[in-house]
């Protein structure tokens, strides 16, 4: 469990700008997630949106999801107005630039990379997820975007 605490701390350091500049705080930490309870879920949120960090026990990287304040801090499911969306896909959708998931990077390097890609888009993401109506204004365009990526086999 010490490794989970180290990863949790690394996430909070890499994404400290969310806490320091945008009013996010740690709201949820489940150390017993996944197979044999060796993964974790970490949720940080604000009055506008939430981020969920998911560490599967046998997976190298930590997956990051973004959702509205009504998205539950539990295992992410399919997209929808009250659910979680892949942060790399949302960054790609908003910026037009793909997020490259590089298996050569350590989980800590990948966190720093994603934090750096998120930083300039933070305000746009907060605005996009602030409520159900905000999500519904772009959801169909996002679903079309993801569908095209899926067909071309370019999903992040």
Averaged over successive runs of 10 residues, the pLDDT of the chain (156 residues) comes to 82 96 95 71 95 84 90 70 84 93 88 96 96 89 86 58
Q: Is residue 23 situated within a structural domain? A: yes
User: In which domain, by residue range, is 20 found?
Assistant: 2-151
Q: Is residue 31 situated within a structural domain? A: yes
Q: Residue 102: its pLDDT value, please?
A: 84
Q: Is residue 128 situated within a structural domain? A: yes
Q: Residue 55: its pLDDT value, please?
A: 85
Structural domains in the chain (count): 1
Indicate the SS3 state at residue 104: coil
Q: Say how many residues make up the chain.
A: 156
Q: Cα separation of 107 and 113, whole Å?
A: 10
Q: Is residue 93 situated within a structural domain? A: yes
Q: Is residue 111 situated within a structural domain? A: yes
Model confidence, pTM: 0.88
Q: In what order do the strands lie in the sheet with 50-55?
A: 25-33, 39-45, 50-55, 62-67, 84-86
Could you give the angle at which helices 122-129 and 87-95 cross, rounded to 10 degrees? 110
Cα 105 to chain centroid distance, Å, stands at 18
How does DSSP classify residue 98?
P
Q: Residue 75: its pLDDT value, please?
A: 73
Q: Is residue 129 situated within a structural domain? A: yes
Q: Is residue 156 situated within a structural domain? A: no
User: What's the alpha-carbon Rg for the chain, to the nearest Å?
Assistant: 15
Q: Residue 110: its pLDDT value, please?
A: 92
């Amino acid at each position: 469990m010490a490794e989970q605490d180290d990863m949790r701390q690394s996430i909070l350091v890499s994404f400290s700008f969310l806490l320091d500049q945008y009013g996010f705080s740690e709201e949820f930490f489940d150390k017993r997630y996944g197979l044999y309870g060796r993964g974790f879920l970490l949720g940080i949120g604000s009055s506008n949106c939430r981020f969920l960090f998911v560490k599967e026990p046998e997976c190298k990287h930590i997956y990051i999801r973004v959702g509205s304040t009504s998205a539950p801090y539990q295992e992410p499911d399919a997209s929808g107005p009250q659910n979680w969306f892949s942060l790399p896909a949302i960054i790609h959708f908003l910026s037009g630039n793909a997020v490259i998931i590089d298996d050569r990077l350590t989980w800590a390097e990948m966190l720093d990379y994603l934090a750096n890609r998120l930083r300039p888009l933070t305000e746009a993401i907060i605005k996009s997820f602030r409520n159900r109506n905000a999500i519904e204004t772009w959801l169909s365009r996002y679903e079309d975007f993801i569908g095209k990526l899926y067909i071309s086999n370019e999903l992040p």
